[in-house]
Structure 1
Amino acid sequence: MKSKILVVGSSLKDMGGIVTVIRNIEQSNLTESYELTRVETYITGSVLARLHIFIVGLIRYLYQLFWNRPDIVHIHMSNGGSFYRKSMMVMIGKIVRVPIILHIHAASFDDFYNHNWFQKRYCQFILNRVDLLVVLSQEWKKYFSTIVPHRKIEILYNGVFKMEEQVSRTNSTPTCLFLGRLGERKGVYDLLLAIKKLKEKEVKSKFLLAGDGEITEVKQLLKDYQIEDMVEVLGWINVHEKEELLRKADMLVLPSYHEGLPMAILEAMNFSLPVISTYVGGIPELIQHGENGYLNEPGDIEGLTKSLEILIHDQNTIVTMGEKNRTLIHNQFDINMLMKELSHMYQRLILK
């Protein structure tokens, strides 16, 4: 008989990296050994839509706990409102004495944690109530070890389903892809400044920006910087469209200020793309500067421009770095391989 895992997280109809992680886990080989039941508590939309899904999710959560008791509750959590919503689930789960795994995906939990005295104390209270805290990288484990005992923290890297086919590209103009919410946190405004500098240097290239967010503001800056001929703003895209873009692009650029372990980077690596990003979150555990991509400090416009210019002008390096990334995915970030680690965590709590 399979052990029962109650998974709490965002709706799969929603967007973003957490949704991709939940979907990948549900489609992995983990389901061969465990019965996964999902309760959805959030979706992007109006206040009414968000309130409705949370209330329905809370009722379903209570039903599962009392009438279909799980062996483990696995909660996917970010910061902000997500933390407060999921903290209710944690406390209810502890009242009925079900083991709780809290899977932290927050990109800027440190800022959230230090916002004020009450929030800091509340975070400490909730995080120390769970049985296991799952984080996305060594860097985040080091950080959370200042809040929670080291023995209660485990690392589970995000993963993707490894591609067997090799992708080849024949773009006459090098194409750079940005995947993520358009806004300051993902560094899109820094990228626009870098593109402006590339145009001033007469570097021929094309940029595709895929994601929701501050689309109107970005389009206005394209006009202000006179780079409309170099940049296409695509808005939010579905899974199929994303795969087509990853096949088409020559590189991924994500100059973020805060990150956990971006699915966009892992997906780009899987499609044999080099990555230009920043020294934040778990990114340096994926990308080694000069080996399989280039990293700069957040806000370093000159460094970002230089990294882009180097790759745009060097097709051989694009191919070499891309192949290194594909190999890295196969060896370390294949979702089915990583699910063995999650299974060990489940068994540790079930047999406790």
Structure 2
Amino acid sequence: MHNNTHKLPDPMPEPSVRHYVAGGTEHGGGIGRLIGYILASHPQNSHDHRVTDTRGPRWDKLRSPFILWGAMALMIKDRLVAPGRVHHLHIAGRGSTARKLVLGACARTLGCTHVLHLHDFDYAADFLRRPIWQRRAIRALFRGADRVIVLGERDRATATELLGVPPRSIGVLHNAVPDPQQGRDAPAKTQATAPQADPQGTPCKIVFLGQLGPRKGVPELLSALAHPNMQSLNWSAVLAGDGPVDEYHAEAERLGLLDRVSLPGWLGSAETRALCERSDILVLPSHGEGMAMAVLEGLAHGLAVVTTRVGAHEEILRDWETCLFVPVGDVEALANALGNLVAHPEMRAKLAQAGRAHYLNALSIDAYVGKLDALHRSVSQGALQRVPTQRGAA
């Protein structure tokens, strides 16, 4: 008898990926934190994701060029020993673009499969401020990538209209964070029953996460916390982030806020999680974002979120349903929004519940990683099909 059973071909293995990010996962800000979440979410040994720092810590400028050269050396080595590796370049404006121009040119010269992942609060403005010769180089960088990933529709328009990237080469991928309650026997935080407002009871805890500075709306936030609407309410606040901490500490002291406001500086992932678990409101009155990781952290932890209509926020959030939106730079509106949530626990609980449910339905890290893996597979397979053409062109 003949066995007519045909063995199916083995599925294509998951591609190996190298991420390039300034500061790596330790000093890379929100981008570095996102990559850390991607690495942690993959089952052990099932995927090969590596991270390469392209700059080092912000304060170590002397070593920065050598770190970039080291990243280029790794790319050259990969081309020789792991030619199928996908090189994932995370890019923002300013110095990040300069570094990725170097790495992108290296990738194109070597014939490396590479992806550009745009994370920026206003890349169009950064691009238009540059001289014409730099704009040409940036357009070549984006057009030369095998795929461009953006955080939302505004950035998709920037990539197509300003940078000339073909629409078929662009993918929209909103940021994500892991579920802080996953794998626990009981939820770390529940808003199922809202406490009654009690001026003498436990203070409502407000948290801000991000780099301290005007772009994140920190001056307005301090002014809002010092607003008369907030003075009689029972609350405390933590403004966690790097930047000119001493400067904002002095401003908080000038406004008479140090008895209720603390500024601990930058916090690691574990410290951030612990802070969110004991907080009630996440506030980010930012002037510009791509898709703020802090907002996602707030939703995931079941906090009531107060933020602004910037970047992709309006694509994923609904005012008075999953967050409260306030106008950029409006101290009065910010103070009113925070005051209402502090004074009305039932409103705070309703907003937090809806935000948490929306996170679980649409913004989980598992769904994000699945989409990212599919994109890497697609890019890797397309590169294999183009190998003869690339060799001929070389």
TM-score band, normalised by the shorter chain? over 0.9
Structure with the greater alpha carbon radius of gyration: 2
Q: Does 1:213 align with 2:243?
A: yes
Deviations 1:112-162 (A, max 9, x none): 111133233332221111121101122322332212222211011111222
Show the counterpart of 1:12: 25
Match of 2:168 among 132, 151, 157: 151
> Are the counterparts in 1 of residues 15 and 377 from structure 2 also a CA contact under 8 Å?
no
SS across alignment from 2:355: helix
- 1:182-203: CA deviation from partner (whole Å, max 9, x where unpaired): 1011110010111111467533
Candidates 121, 127, 147, aligned match of 1:113: 127
- 1:50 Cα deviation after fit: 2.1
Q: Determine helix, strand or coil for the equivalent of 1:13.
A: helix
1:25 maps to 38
Give me the TM-score of the superposition, normalised by structure 1: 0.94
- State the distance in 2 between where 1:200 and 1:239 align: 30
Q: How far has the Cα of 1:51 moved from its partner?
A: 2.7
> How many residue pairs end up in the alignment?
352
Partner of 1:142: 157
1:287–1:295: 8 Å Cα contact kept in structure 2? no
Aligned partner of 1:339 in structure 2 is 369
Q: Secondary structure at the match of 1:76?
A: strand
Separation of aligned partners in 1, 2:274 and 2:27: 20
In 1, the alpha carbon distance for the partners of 2:322 and 2:109 equals 47
Cα separation, partners in 2 of 1:20 and 1:200, compared to 1, 3 Å: closer
- Equivalent residue for 1:183, pick from 213, 221, 235: 213
Aligned to 1:161: 178
Residues 6-26 of structure 1: per-residue CA shift (max 9 Å, x gap): 222232221411011111111
Corresponding residue for residue 8 of structure 2:
none
What displacement does 1:111 show?
2.1
Which deviates more from structure 2 when the two are superposed, residues 192-201 or residues 16-25?
192-201
Gapped runs of 5+ residues in structure 1? none
Which residue matches 2:277?
247
Q: Deviations over 1:214-244 (max 9, x none)?
A: 1121112112222222211111112221111
Name whichever structure is richer in strand by fraction. Answer: 1
Q: 5+ unaligned residues in a row in structure 2: which ranges?
A: 1-12, 196-200, 383-394
| Counterpart amino acid of residue 238 in structure 1 | G
Of 302, 320, 324, which aligns to 1:272? 302
Identity %, equivalent residues: 24
**Is residue 6–residue 70 contact of structure 1 (8 Å, CA) maintained in 2?**
no
- Deviation (angstroms), 1:254: 0.4
In structure 2, what is the Cα distance between the partners aligned to 1:330 and 1:179? Answer: 21
How far apart, in 2, do the equivalents of 1:237 and 1:337 lie? 26
Change (3 A) 1:145 1:296: farther
- Alignment partners' CA distance in 2, 1:39 and 1:329: 30
- Backbone CA RMSD of aligned residues: 2.0
